[in-house]
Amino acid sequence: MARKLSAAQAKSHLADCLRKAENGEPVIITRHGKAVAALVGMDRVALPRQKDARAVAGLAGGWKGSEDLVQALTKVRRTRPRRLCTILDEARTGRR
């Protein structure tokens, strides 16, 4: 049977959660009482063979709406990295 924990509980007991998932017991993580994530052992995950945007959705795969995620990921463009001094200046001035 799956163990349910709040996000805060899962964070503070992460090592125990990982151990349980590793031993075959899924851990359901909730936020405000609603299940939002699950930790499961790697033996229960089918890893994708291709490295592209579709592979990310394939890790958890098959949930309602996962096709929308695949489409959104294929449209995402990477932005150029910002320099640390630019980030610090923005933080000081409150700009972004």
How do 34-39 and 27-31 pair as beta strands? antiparallel
What pLDDT is attached to residue 75?
Answer: 72
User: pLDDT (tens digit, 9 = 90+) per residue, 29-64?
Assistant: 999 999 999 998 888 876 655 555 555 555 555 666
Say if residue 55 is in the same domain as residue 76: yes
User: By residue range, what is the domain housing residue 18?
Assistant: 3-44
Say if residue 39 is in the same domain as residue 52: no
Q: Mean per-residue pLDDT for 69-78?
A: 68
Total structural domains in the chain? 2
Q: What H or E segment, with its residue span, contains residue 29?
A: strand 27-31
Say if residue 68 is in the same domain as residue 90: yes
Copy the structure tokens of residue 33. Answer: 């009482």
User: pLDDT (tens digit, 9 = 90+) per residue, 4-22?
Assistant: 999 999 999 999 999 999 9
CA distances to 6, 23, 43, 91 from 11, rounded to whole Å, are 9, 19, 23, 28
Say if residue 92 is in the same domain as residue 50: yes
Indicate the residue type of 15. Answer: A
Say if residue 39 is in the same domain as residue 57: no
**pTM of this prediction exceeds 0.75:** no
